[in-house]
Structure 1
Amino acid sequence: MTAPLALTPAMADALAQWLQGQSAARDRSAHTIAAYRDDVIAFLGFLGGYHAQGATPASLAGLRQADMRAFAAAERGRGLSARSLARRLSAVRSFLRWMSDRHGYDLSAALSMRGPRYQRSLPRPLAVAQARELLDHARQHHDTPWIAARDAAVLTLLYGCGLRISEGLALCGRDWPLPDVLTIRGKGGRERRVPVLPVARDAIETYLRLCPYTLTPDEALFRGARGGPLRPGVLEGAMARMRQSLGLPPTATPHALRHSFATHLLSAGGDLRTIQELLGHASLSTTQVYTDVDDVRLLEIYRRAHPRA
Structure 2
Amino acid sequence: MTENVNISLKLFIEYLQIEKNCSQYTVEHYHHDVTDFFDFMKEEAILSLKDVQYSDVRIYLTKLYEKQLSRKTVARRISCLRSFYKFLLREKLVDENPMALVSIPKAEKRLPDFFYEQELNVFFESCETDTALGKRNKALLELLYGTGIRVSECCKIRLTDLDFYLSTVLVHGKGHKQRYVPFGSFAHDELESYIQTARRDLLKGKEDHGFLFVNFRGGPLTDRGVREVLNKMFEKSALHGKIHPHKLRHTFATHMLSNGADLRTVQELLGHAFLSSTQVYTHVTNEHLRRTYMSTHPRA
Quote the residue 1:91 is aligned against: 80
Structure 1 pair 14–167 and aligned structure 2 pair: CA distance change class (3 A): closer
3-state SS in 1 of match to 2:170: strand
Could you tell me which of 147, 166, 190 is aligned with 1:161? 147
Structure 1 pair 173–68 and aligned structure 2 pair: CA distance change class (3 A): closer
1:120 positional shift: 4.8
1:71 positional shift: 0.9
Whether the 8 Å CA contact 1:29–1:188 is kept in 2: the answer is no
Structure 1 gap ranges (5+):
1-5
Quote the residue 1:240 is aligned against: 235
Whether the 8 Å CA contact 1:124–1:252 is kept in 2: the answer is no
TM-score (norm 1): 0.68
Letter in 2 for 1:182: V
Find the structure with the greater CA-based Rg: 1
Structure 1 pair 24–120 and aligned structure 2 pair: CA distance change class (3 A): farther
Q: How does 1:37-52 map to 2 (within 5 A)?
A: 37-43=31-37, 46-47=40-41, 49-50=43-44, 52=45
Quote the residue 2:290 is aligned against: 299
Equivalent-residue separation in structure 2 for 1:29 and 1:15 (angstroms)? 17
Q: How does 1:117-266 map to 2 (within 5 A)?
A: 117-132=106-121, 134-135=123-124, 137-138=125-126, 142=128, 144=130, 151-164=137-150, 168=154, 178=164, 180=166, 181-186=168-173, 191-207=178-194, 211=198, 213=200, 217-218=208-209, 232=226, 233-234=228-229, 236-242=231-237, 244=238, 248-251=239-242, 256-266=247-257
1:70 positional shift: 1.0
Quote the residue 2:47 is aligned against: 54
1:220 positional shift: 6.5
Q: Render the CA deviation track for 1:10-47: whole Å, top value 9, x for unaligned.
A: x6666666665555554433443443344345435535
1:36 aligned onto 2:30: yes
Q: Render the CA deviation track for 1:101-144: whole Å, top value 9, x for unaligned.
A: 86997769x64443345435433322235435654x35xx6483
Structure 1 pair 218–73 and aligned structure 2 pair: CA distance change class (3 A): same
User: Which one is further off, 143-152 or 194-203?
Assistant: 143-152
Equivalent-residue separation in structure 2 for 1:225 and 1:100 (angstroms)? 43
Quote the residue 1:279 is aligned against: 270
Could you tell me which of 89, 95, 104 is aligned with 1:115? 104
Q: Render the CA deviation track for 1:53-99: whole Å, top value 9, x for unaligned.
A: 42353x45xx33x4332111123334544322221112223344566
Equivalent-residue separation in structure 2 for 1:165 and 1:99 (angstroms)? 30
1:182 positional shift: 0.8
1:76 aligned onto 2:65: yes
Letter in 1 for 2:259: A
Structure 2 gap ranges (5+):
none
Equivalent-residue separation in structure 1 for 2:267 and 2:254 (angstroms)? 12
Whether the 8 Å CA contact 2:209–2:220 is kept in 1: the answer is no
Structure 1 pair 281–104 and aligned structure 2 pair: CA distance change class (3 A): same
Whether the 8 Å CA contact 1:39–1:88 is kept in 2: the answer is yes
Equivalent-residue separation in structure 2 for 1:112 and 1:20 (angstroms)? 26
Q: Render the CA deviation track for 1:241-285: whole Å, top value 9, x for unaligned.
A: 23x2xxx43346665333211111122343445434423456655
Whether the 8 Å CA contact 2:136–2:199 is kept in 1: the answer is no
TM-score (norm 2): 0.70
3-state SS in 2 of match to 1:126: coil
Equivalent-residue separation in structure 2 for 1:161 and 1:31 (angstroms)? 21
1:226 positional shift: 9.5
Equivalent-residue separation in structure 2 for 1:146 and 1:42 (angstroms)? 40
Q: Render the CA deviation track for 1:186-225: whole Å, top value 9, x for unaligned.
A: 5676543211223321233345567595698547656778
- RMSD (Å), alpha carbons: 4.4
Letter in 2 for 1:91: C
